[in-house]
């Protein structure tokens, strides 16, 4: 299946090579690259959307991180009837004060941040109302994170908070923003693994996802990693996700 999808010329264009491509099962290809340029990865997601038009039963899972960057989506989460969220909209006049670039993109959600200490999962796959709804896909991405971190000793994680995300009490560990084109998803989940002090300082100027910057926390702040790495976490995560999505 890999030869059908990706030529070396195509991979080179997006800053990839064959060492970044793995076949998880007969339906699923994994792309894994750390510190991947955001623009190249964004273009690659759109390339994958076109490929899945030819082979809609396939899945492409991107596992990556990005250099420090901000992205801004279509808008903050809307409250349900009778609900108050108290989210703060991003003030675009602040853009020139930020030390890293901002990309305006098509996913749901407001302003968020990326840095090399995150694990990002972009699932590019076809939704089906009978077999895989959007909510089921999102729940799976969070649930697999919880399963791995439970095994690592972090026990209080939940995604049942009124605000979309993966939460440890009132601290947010992972954010979710999805876009859909012709029933095919792209963009996805960003989980904070390492504590990035430079990014933490930068987000004090804004309200990521409409929230106070101090709401955000990392795996590194929740536990003693004891030598465990982002690579260790991502490998275990992908192993479990591929088992769920056979």
Q: What is the domain-level CATH number for residue 218?
A: 3.30.930.10
Record the pTM: 0.96
Residue ranges making up the domain that contains 27: 2-244
State yes or no: pLDDT of 30 exceeds 70: yes
Torsion angle defined by CA atoms of residues 36, 210, 163 and 64, in that order, rounded to the nearest 10 degrees: 0
Q: Tell me how many domains the chain contains.
A: 1
Contact 76, 209 (CB under 8 A): yes
**Catalytic-role residue among 48, 63, 64, 209:** 209
Two tokens at 59?
């899945």
pLDDT of residue 207: 96
- Of 154, 122, 133, the C-alpha closest to 238 is 122
pLDDT at residue 8, as a whole number: 85
How far is CA 197 from each of CA 37, 206, 220, rounded to the nearest angstrom? Answer: 20, 15, 12
Whole-number Cα distances in Å, 228 to 49, 57, 187? 34, 35, 26
**Residue corresponding to tokens 């989210």:** 87
Candidate from 44-53, 78-87, 170-179, 181-190 with smallest mean pLDDT: 78-87
Distance CA 196, CA 219 (A): 11
Report how far apart, in Å, the C-alpha atoms of 84 and of each of 35, 87, 116 are: 37, 9, 33
Mean pLDDT along residues 42-63: 95
- Residue 82 pLDDT grade (very low, low, confident, very high; cuts 50, 70, 90): confident
Mean pLDDT of 73-88: 92
Residue 243: phi and psi, rounded to 5, are -70, -40
State yes or no: is 48 an active-site residue. no
Q: What are residue 120's phi and psi, to 5 degrees?
A: -110, 135
Upper half-sphere CA count for residue 171 (Cβ side, 13 Å): 13
Compute φ and ψ for 70, nearest 5 degrees. -110, 150
């Amino acid at each position: 299946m890999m030869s059908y999808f990706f030529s070396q010329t195509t991979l080179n264009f997006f800053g990839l090579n064959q060492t970044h491509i793995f076949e998880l099962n007969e339906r699923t290809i994994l792309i894994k690259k750390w510190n991947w340029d955001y623009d190249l990865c964004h273009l690659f997601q759109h390339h994958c959307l076109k490929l899945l038009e030819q082979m809609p039963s396939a899945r492409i899972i991107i596992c990556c991180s990005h250099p420090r960057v901000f992205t801004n989506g279509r808008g903050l989460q809307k409250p349900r009837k009778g609900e108050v969220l108290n989210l703060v909209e991003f003030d675009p006049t602040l853009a020139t004060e930020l030390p890293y670039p901002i990309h305006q993109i098509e996913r749901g959600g407001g302003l968020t941040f990326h840095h090399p200490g995150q694990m990002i999962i972009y699932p590019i796959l076809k939704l089906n109302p009978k077999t895989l709804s959007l909510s089921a896909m999102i729940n799976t991405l969070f649930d697999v994170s919880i399963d791995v971190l439970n095994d690592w000793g972090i026990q209080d994680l939940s995604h049942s908070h009124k605000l979309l995300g993966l939460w440890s009490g009132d601290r947010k560990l992972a954010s979710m923003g999805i876009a859909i084109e012709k029933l095919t998803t792209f963009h996805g989940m960003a989980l904070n693994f390492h504590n990035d002090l430079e990014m933490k300082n930068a987000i004090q100027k804004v309200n990521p996802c409409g929230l106070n910057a101090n709401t955000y926390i990392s795996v590194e702040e929740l536990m003693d990693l004891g030598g465990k790495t982002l690579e260790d976490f991502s490998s275990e995560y992908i192993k479990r996700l591929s088992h769920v999505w056979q």
